[in-house]
Amino acid sequence: MTTDQRKESWSTAEEEIMQATYRALLEYGYAGLSISRIADELGKSKAAIYHHYDTKDDLMITFLKFTVDRFEETIDTETGDEPVEDLKHAIEELLPLQRDEEQRRLQMVLVSLRSQAVTNETFREQFTQIDKQLAATIRSIVDRGIDEGTFRDIDSSRVAEHILATVNGAMYGRTTTDRHNTAAAARVSLVSYIDTELKRHS
Amino acid sequence: MTTDQRKESWSTAEEEIMQATYRALLEYGYAGLSISRIADELGKSKAAIYHHYDTKDDLMITFLKFTVDRFEETIDTETGDEPVEDLKHAIEELLPLQRDEEQRRLQMVLVSLRSQAVTNETFREQFTQIDKQLAATIRSIVDRGIDEGTFRDIDSSRVAEHILATVNGAMYGRTTTDRHNTAAAARVSLVSYIDTELKRHS
């Protein structure tokens, strides 16, 4: 995923704290996170963490950036020159039919962090930015399809929001319920929608 | 929303604790909730809460049921005999174009609670149940439309998951980002999809 945001570069010590926070969050949830538990995961003292971060809030803001970087690295929305295939590829990246364990854990962490956006402005800005970029990527593929005559002359913004809402909602559902096959069902229906409604029938 | 789950009946004291928890959650987020803060909102001592709930976890499980009851009360998916209109009505209930302040707050609380489902089995079961019921309601409307010949002979399960994912994702996005017009855009596209792809063109 291309982004204007500068990626952090992490020292070994910071990277280890981030990895420990990741594991602690998966084990205890966001509400159960504490510097003590992160220090336990790290196998070091709390002082080793406070050396880098003044407060838990500081640590969590850094952890948010760390996680978002990981998410952006996993998403490859590079486009080719076939709008239909590019759109399907973007959907596949955002909503794989099968998730490997690493993808599953990353989505668990993202859903935990994103819930903080309900009351925390910094988190909210970060997820606003992510969704804005994803919607823009999808819309630009649709616009190209319309220009080339592959897609009907539809409202590309609306279609982009529809696709983004569907992939986000399916990911959210799969991460917060035991309904494991529903994300794949939603995706198949979404792709069929692209094939039948978006494509110009000539 | 019709449901097989028995609604709790709440004593005045319990109802007041639930309302205080609701306000404290909106102010501090789930991770910032404590019995102290809920007691402050309640204007009573912590003992007044511990009289009813042994632990914060007990209180939160009860609060989950309280919030789900409120959600189910606000959703009217009673169906008529016009599948297209019934489907649009269900989508309108789940994803209003404009939310009033009470709907906005309820969704903030639901997103906060739902994030606990990532690591907490009780929360996970509850949200699994909610999504299962919503998907079944949507699917039954689509099935009726197919039987009556209003809809094409499509896979109603897939379409139901697509619609549910879109409304959940749009609600999630609107509650966790500053992108306020996107939910309406997604909904307009979803309704257009129903009109053009689902309906049999005679």
Domains and CATH numbers, chain B: 12-59 (1.10.10.60), 75-198 (1.10.357.10)
Q: What is the DSSP string of chain B?
A: ---SSPPP---HHHHHHHHHHHHHHHHH-STT--HHHHHHHHTS-HHHHHTT-SSHHHHHHHHHHHHHHHHHHH------S-HHHHHHHHHHHHS-SS--HHHHHHHHHHHHHHHGGGT-HHHHHHHHHHHHHHHHHHHHHHHHHHHHTSB-S--HHHHHHHHHHHHHHHHHHHHHSS-TTHHHHHHHHHHHHIIIIIB---
In angstroms, the Cα distances linking A79 to A120, A141, A142, A156, B167 are 34, 8, 11, 17, 27
Cβ of B175 under 8 Å from any chain A Cβ? Answer: yes
State the amino acid at position B141 in one-letter form: I
Taking the CA atoms of residue A128, residue A134, residue A136 and residue A142 in that order, the dihedral angle to the nearest 10 degrees is -150
- B201 pLDDT higher than 80: no
**A166 contacts in B (CB within 8 Å)?**
162, 165-166, 169
Q: Is ipTM over 0.85?
A: yes
| CA gap B32, A86 in Å, rounded | 42
Q: Which of residues 45-104 of A touch B (CB under 8 A)?
A: none
**B193 contacts in A (CB within 8 Å)?**
162, 193, 197
Residue whose entry in the numeric block shows the structure tokens 């009109």: B195
pLDDT, tens digit, 9 for 90 and up, residues A15-69: 999 999 999 999 999 999 999 999 999 999 999 999 999 999 999 999 999 999 9
Residue whose entry in the numeric block shows the structure tokens 């009813």: B52
pLDDT for the residue A4: 47
**Is B120 close to A185, i.e. CB distance below 8 A?**
no
Rounded average pLDDT over A92-117: 95
Closest Cα of chain A to B103: distance in Å?
A: 14
Taking the CA atoms of residue B86, residue B87, residue B92 and residue B93 in that order, the dihedral angle to the nearest 10 degrees is 70
**Is A193 close to B162, i.e. CB distance below 8 A?**
yes
Cβ of A34 under 8 Å from any chain B Cβ? Answer: no
Cβ of B164 under 8 Å from any chain A Cβ? Answer: yes
Closest Cα of chain A to B102: distance in Å?
A: 15
pLDDT, tens digit, 9 for 90 and up, residues B42-80: 999 999 999 999 999 999 999 999 999 999 998 877 778
Cβ of A166 under 8 Å from any chain B Cβ? Answer: yes
Are B134 and A135 contacting, i.e. CB atoms less than 8 angstroms apart? no
pLDDT, tens digit, 9 for 90 and up, residues B136-182: 999 999 999 999 999 999 999 999 999 999 999 999 999 999 998 99
Spacing of C-alpha A123 from chain mean position: 13
pLDDT for the residue A191: 94
**Is A170 close to B169, i.e. CB distance below 8 A?**
yes
Give Cβ neighbours of residue A181 (< 8 Å, ≥ 6 apart): none
